[in-house]
Chains A and B, each alone.
Chain A
């Protein structure tokens, strides 16, 4: 079975400060990892994914994530947070030999304080 843990319920950060949203995963074999963001009353938007190769993945809107196999983590980062980054962030994992079923984490509410 595959699963994702997002340990924090809410992440508060001052505008201009670095933003980190944590994610750890559990899956048999190699993982495929994704980050999505959801703004109020909207669907999920894809930010980035790790498939293979470079452990540092760059995505949309200045976000990046680092894959760490030994720590089974895939933390999302942004060097300088904007108020408009306030949203709900979901980490998701899919097994290498799996079907199209994604396992989502519970989500992290990010609040960027002006």
Chain B
């Protein structure tokens, strides 16, 4: 299985809602990532988990809260978002460690904040 899955595919939420994005991989990867991507722009790194520990937080606002329950799962909890947070949220995974392994991306969750 060489796939990263993300649910839901689309999400519409109000600014007072709480929702979660989910990501799963069964490739045995030990590094997992959250990216935010605006239309026709490159992905912007948000968080990196390495061996289930948060290793990079790119100064993301606290209304985004990541969680890595185990080596296969990655969640992104959303609360009190702003309309400018509307974007495609991509999850990726790669083999762990410091070697330059390529990242495998999921199809993304299209988030709209009203």
Residues of chain A at the chain B interface (Cβ within 8 Å): 32, 34, 36, 41-46, 49, 51, 88, 90, 94, 99-102, 104-107, 109
**Is the pair B90, A100 in contact by a Cβ cutoff of 8 Å?**
no
Residues of chain B at the chain A interface (Cβ within 8 Å): 4, 31, 33, 40-43, 45, 48, 50, 55-56, 90, 92, 94, 98, 100, 102-108, 110
CB proximity of B98 to chain A, nearest CB, Å: 7
Q: Which of A44, A49, A107 contacts B41 (CB 8 A)?
A: A107
Q: Which of A49, A88, A90 contacts B100 (CB 8 A)?
A: A49
- Cross-chain pairs A/B with CB under 8 angstroms, 22 sampled: A41-B108, A43-B90, A43-B105, A44-B105, A45-B105, A46-B103, A49-B100, A49-B102, A99-B48, A99-B55, A100-B50, A100-B55, A100-B56, A100-B98, A101-B45, A101-B48, A102-B103, A105-B42, A106-B42, A107-B41, A107-B42, A109-B40
Chain B residue nearest to A88 (CB atoms) is: B40
**Is the pair A44, B98 in contact by a Cβ cutoff of 8 Å?**
no
